[in-house]
């Protein structure tokens, strides 16, 4: 199963519309979509390391723009969609705590989110629901998302061939660790925020 998923992602990383797929996933993940763009981003970067920086810019831009959708959901449509998204992820209590903290620490919460596996969609929806300053939201989002994708790009640039070899030789472990990292982000917010 893991080999099929890996082969599927690697196949689509060479697709003529792969950049569009990556952009759309990065956009949607910032507001409600459960799957991050990282697997496709990593596959595309490993295929052609000369494109790492343009892919990092693409993911950062798409993610920040997608963050505006999350912000809009929190600001204008929280009762209609935002609450359902938060409930779906089981983050209702965390959302309430985070919303209270935003009045004092909003900018730093967004920036520091870039260093953690905390779901960015939670941060964007909370930002809108808390009516957080949109200029500060944009600046913090650029830092957070830019750090995430450029840091990953630096790792791939420096260790790309070793990373690819490790993933291919330890495919099941790589997928399991990635899933644990994502689930850990949700659990971190749910039980420790």
Phi, psi dihedrals of residue 30, rounded to the nearest 5° = -75, -10
Query: Is 70 exceeded by the pLDDT of residue 174?
Result: no
Q: Which of 6-20, 27-41, 54-68 is modeled with the greatest confidence? A: 54-68
C-alpha dihedral sign at 46, 150, 123, 100: positive
**How far is it, in rounded angstroms, from Cα 133 to Cα 100?**
15
Residue 132: per-residue pLDDT: 94
Q: What is the pTM of this model?
A: 0.81
Query: Is 80 exceeded by the pLDDT of residue 167?
Result: no
DSSP 34: S
Query: Is 90 exceeded by the pLDDT of residue 36?
Result: no
Write out pLDDT tens, residues 77-126.
998 888 898 888 777 877 888 888 887 888 998 988 766 667 788 889 99
Write out pLDDT tens, residues 48-67.
889 999 999 999 999 999 99
pLDDT band at 4, cuts 50/70/90?
low
**How far is it, in rounded angstroms, from Cα 184 to Cα 192?**
11
């Amino acid at each position: 199963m893991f080999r099929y998923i890996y082969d599927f992602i690697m196949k689509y990383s060479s697709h003529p519309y792969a950049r569009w797929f990556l952009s759309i996933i990065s956009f949607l993940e910032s507001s409600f979509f459960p799957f991050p763009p990282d697997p496709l981003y990593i596959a595309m970067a490993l295929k052609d390391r000369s494109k790492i920086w343009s892919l990092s810019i693409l993911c950062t831009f798409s993610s920040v723009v997608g963050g505006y959708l999350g912000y809009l959901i929190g600001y204008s449509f929280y009762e209609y969609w935002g609450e359902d998204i938060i409930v779906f992820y089981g983050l209702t209590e965390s959302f309430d705590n985070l919303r209270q903290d935003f009045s004092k620490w909003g900018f730093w919460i967004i920036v520091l989110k870039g260093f953690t596996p905390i779901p960015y969609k939670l941060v964007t929806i909370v930002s809108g629901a808390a009516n957080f300053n949109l200029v500060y939201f944009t600046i913090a989002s650029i830092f957070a998302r830019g750090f995430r994708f450029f840091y990953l790009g630096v790792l791939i640039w420096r260790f790309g061939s070793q990373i690819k070899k490790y993933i291919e030789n330890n495919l099941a472990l790589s997928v399991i660790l990635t899933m644990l990292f994502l689930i850990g982000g949700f659990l971190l917010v749910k039980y420790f925020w």
